[in-house]
Amino acid sequence: MNISLKGKNALVGGSSGGIGKAIAQQLAESGANVTLMSRSGEKLKKIVHELPTDQGQEHSYLVVDFSDFHGYRETIYHYFENHNIDILVNNTQGPSAGSALEKQTSDYQEAFDLLFKTVSYTTELALEHMKNNKWGRIINVASVSVKEPLSYLALSNTIRAAVVTWAKSLANDVGPYGITVNSVLTGYFDTERITQLNAKKAEQLGISEDEVLADMESRVPVKRIGDPKEYGYLATFLASDQAAYITGTQIPIDGGLLKSL
């Protein structure tokens, strides 16, 4: 199956590394014009020059701070004044780790601004063109923890679950316009985020980070953590014409980690 996204414009959040970068790379490989988005301008500038342009693509980047919603809102609003997006990948950095007992109401508000308000507002801006064009793809990077909460990620468990249920509701509303909305439930992937979380867990348990990683791998039926490239393949398929009948879903990409149906 040959996936072509030639002529499509994609906006990918959190794309200065990890999963976001891998998605951006694969979308570009399939012919899309990609706008990278994160708070690290130096990293984005370097990645833009690494993306393929053999199909005549034009790539760019946008520096934003997802943790500053008011600043983000202004920046993304001005971006959409001059750009139309066909493929929107909603992805941000995760909130701080910690259990429910460690978090205060203010922490949940900050996480809501970071994980939910940025996603819903960006989508709102992108939808006008998608509806007029009768075609659009919205892909939300979520987590397996919305189905099986992780005790040390209380903020992520809570707010990402809200994103997934919002996405299901939105899919019903925009389906008649040829727009699909899907959420990907992320398992363990080889990213900086996992490294940071493993370091915190190792410190709490008094063991090495290698031991934490080995235990993590042992819990996954395929006995390894994921390569971000594999994530990019799934996201690119969901962005394609071939996935036009897939919407309102929550698709785990976790090597079989989830035990629930």
What span, in angstroms and rounded, lies between the C-alpha atoms of 152 and 157? 9
Mean pLDDT for all residues in the chain: 96
131 CA to centre of own chain:
22
What span, in angstroms and rounded, lies between the C-alpha atoms of 209 and 131? 47
- What pLDDT does residue 90 have? 98
Residue 260 covered by a domain: no
Residue 2 covered by a domain: no
Residues 103 and 192 in one domain: no
Residues 141 and 199 in one domain: no
CATH number at residue 176: 3.40.50.720
Q: Does residue 197 have a pLDDT over 90?
A: no
Residue 4 covered by a domain: no
Q: What is the pLDDT of residues 22-56, one digit of tens each?
A: 999 999 999 999 999 999 999 999 999 999 999 99
- What pLDDT does residue 48 have? 97
Q: Does residue 135 have a pLDDT over 90?
A: yes
Q: Which three-class secondary structure string do you get for the chain?
A: CCCCCCCCEEEEECCCCHHHHHHHHHHHHCCCEEEEEECCHHHHHHHHHHCCCCCCCCCEEEECCCCCHHHHHHHHHHHHHHCCCCEEEECCCCCCCECHHHCCHHHHHHHHHHHHHHHHHHHHHHHHHHHHHCCEEEEEEEEHHHCCCCCCEHHHHHHHHHHHHHHHHHHHHHHHHCEEEEEEEECCECCHHHHHHHHHHHHHHCCCHHHHHHHHHHHCCCCCCECHHHHHHHHHHHCCHHHCCCCCCEEEECCCCCCCC
Residues 98 and 218 in one domain: no
Residues 37 and 137 in one domain: yes
- The closest of 119, 100, 93 to 157, measured between CA atoms, is 100
Which one-letter amino acid corresponds to residue 106? S
CB of 159 closer than 8 Å to CB of 111: yes
Residue 142 covered by a domain: yes
- What pLDDT does residue 87 have? 99
Q: Does residue 184 have a pLDDT over 90?
A: yes
Residue 237 covered by a domain: yes
Domain count of the fold of the chain: 2
Q: What is the pLDDT of residues 140-180, one digit of tens each?
A: 999 999 999 988 899 999 999 999 999 999 999 999 999 99
Residues 160 and 210 in one domain: no
Q: Is the pTM of this model over 0.85?
A: yes
The reply to whether 121 belongs to the active site is no
Q: Does residue 204 have a pLDDT over 90?
A: no
Catalytic residue among 72, 77, 79, 152: 152
Residues 209 and 128 in one domain: no
Would you give the end-to-end CA distance of the chain in angstroms?
28
Residue 210 structural domain: 188-225
Residues 212 and 105 in one domain: no
The sheet with strand 250-253 has its strands ordered as 60-63, 33-38, 9-13, 87-90, 136-143, 179-186, 250-253
- What pLDDT does residue 200 have? 83
